[in-house]
């Protein structure tokens, strides 16, 4: 194994390990939100996208309608479409290979892939990170769901606050520069204003729409 390959492998495995660890918090929070262990596991197996998964369980816990939960998960999943477009040429051909690649196209596998210098290592980085997180995230989800089931009153353990902290942790790396911070503040203010007056789940969708308009307006005329 040459030095570049070794670097790609260790980067992929390191990211996989770190991300998989918080599969525990997803599993525990999910059963605390009212999902059973199987429903929790299906989200990690089939949806397999952290932000969308946290959105579903957060909105279910808040008593939102199924429509709000589905719409929020899907809107958060739109970025995966763009990741897929970006890395499709490096993943290689074959129908089933592309289906699996599609399933494993998430923030981290894309990030590790595009950080490599040539096509061979981009491909290697994508597959190692995708496979590593798929296995680790699902195992840790199961552990968390079993632990969460045994906990009982989740507010006493601060699990509702842990969910808030998890969303902030997902948002934080995206707050680079003035525009992203402005968009986040607008979305947060709109949500706080809408929470007491609109049905559960709806404030999130309103904030997404207002944030989108504000963000595109900020960006007008600039490359």
Partner 1 sequence: MSLWMTIITASVAVLALKLIGYVVPRSFGEHPTVQNASSILTIALLASLVTTQTLGSATGFALDARVVAIVLAGVLLWLRAPFIVVVIAGAASAAVLRATGLMP
Per CB under 8 A, contacts with partner 1 among 71-110 are 72-86, 88-89, 98-99, 101-103, 105
Region near partner 1 per CB under 8 A, out of 3-11, 111-119, 128-136, 155-163: 155-163
Shortest Cβ 133–partner 1 spacing (Å): 13
* 195 sits near partner 1 (criterion: CB under 8 A): yes
Distance (Å, whole) CA 88 – CA 3: 26
Which listed residue (6, 21, 94, 147) binds partner 1 by CB under 8 A? 21
Q: If we measure between CA atoms, which residue out of 82, 71, 70 comes closest to residue 106?
A: 82
Quick one: 218 exposed, middle or buried, by C-beta within 10 A (0-12, 13-18, 19+)? middle
* 131 sits near partner 1 (criterion: CB under 8 A): no
* 12 sits near partner 1 (criterion: CB under 8 A): no
CA 26 remoteness from chain centre: 11
User: Residues near 143 by Cβ (< 8 Å), separated by ≥ 6?
Assistant: 23, 24, 27
Closest to partner 1 by CB, 2 or 176? 176
Per-position x/- string for 48-67, each x denoting binding to partner 1 as judged by CB under 8 A, each - no binding: xx-xx-xxx-xxx-xx-xxx
Shortest Cβ 178–partner 1 spacing (Å): 12
Closest to partner 1 by CB, 119 or 164? 164
37 vs 57, 60, 143, 145, 150, CA distance in Å? 12, 15, 10, 6, 11
Distance (Å, whole) CA 40 – CA 46: 10
């Amino acid at each position: 194994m040459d030095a570049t390959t070794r670097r790609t492998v260790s980067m992929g495995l390191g990211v996989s390990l770190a991300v998989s660890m918080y599969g525990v918090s997803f599993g525990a929070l999910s059963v605390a939100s009212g999902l059973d262990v199987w429903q929790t596991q299906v989200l990690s197996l089939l949806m397999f996208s952290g932000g969308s998964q946290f959105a579903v369980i957060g909105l279910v816990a808040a008593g939102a309608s199924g429509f709000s939960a589905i719409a929020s998960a899907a809107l958060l999943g739109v970025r995966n479409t763009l990741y897929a477009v970006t890395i499709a040429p490096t993943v290689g051909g074959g129908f089933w290979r592309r289906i699996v690649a599609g399933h494993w196209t998430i923030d981290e596998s894309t990030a590790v892939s595009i950080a490599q210098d040539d096509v061979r290592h981009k491909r290697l980085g994508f597959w190692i990170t995708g496979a590593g997180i798929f296995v680790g995230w699902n195992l840790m989800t199961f552990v968390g769901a079993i632990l969460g089931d045994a906990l009982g009153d989740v507010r006493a353990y601060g699990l509702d606050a842990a969910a808030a902290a998890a969303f902030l942790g997902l948002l934080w790396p995206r707050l680079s520069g003035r525009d992203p911070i402005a968009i986040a503040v607008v979305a947060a203010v709109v949500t706080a204003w809408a929470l007491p007056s609109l049905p559960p789940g709806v404030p999130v969708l309103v904030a997404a729409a207002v944030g989108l308009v504000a963000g595109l307006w900020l960006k007008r005329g600039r490359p």
